[in-house]
Structure 1
């Protein structure tokens, strides 16, 4: 991940929700750098969806993150869902 990536968070979220969202984006970064466990990524995405249930809000956040980092959360999650592998590496 680039050093200056602003993770899309909301001031309305609780401290725990912010931590969960940050953990999700860190897992995306891991998928692009060294690989991440499929189950972990899917679990973190499930928690992310509970915090950000709106599809349009998710798309906007993913687009902003990808623009800054060059890493696509959408494609990482899609690969995790479709892959038979235990480790997701983009």
Structure 2
């Protein structure tokens, strides 16, 4: 099983990719999801843990199924390609 810090890092990277893919700033995502901009940044930098409830709010704001926030396969592929 992955360490908590590694999961937080993966989640943060995934959130950043999805947020930027939707063309949203941290502030815009925060406003639309009812979360503070600094909290979004802390999640993306793996400085905070996120609750399922808040992850659901973010997924809903990004118009995603919550499972997409936890699918790290694209990040794993990116890391493998960087190490080649």
Q: Please tell me the TM-score bracket, short chain as reference.
A: 0.3 to 0.5
TM (normalized to structure 1)? Answer: 0.34
TM (normalized to structure 2)? Answer: 0.36
Task: Tell me which of the two structures has the higher relative contact order, counting C-alpha pairs closer than 8 angstroms and 6 or more residues apart.
Answer: 1
Structure having the higher helix fraction is 2
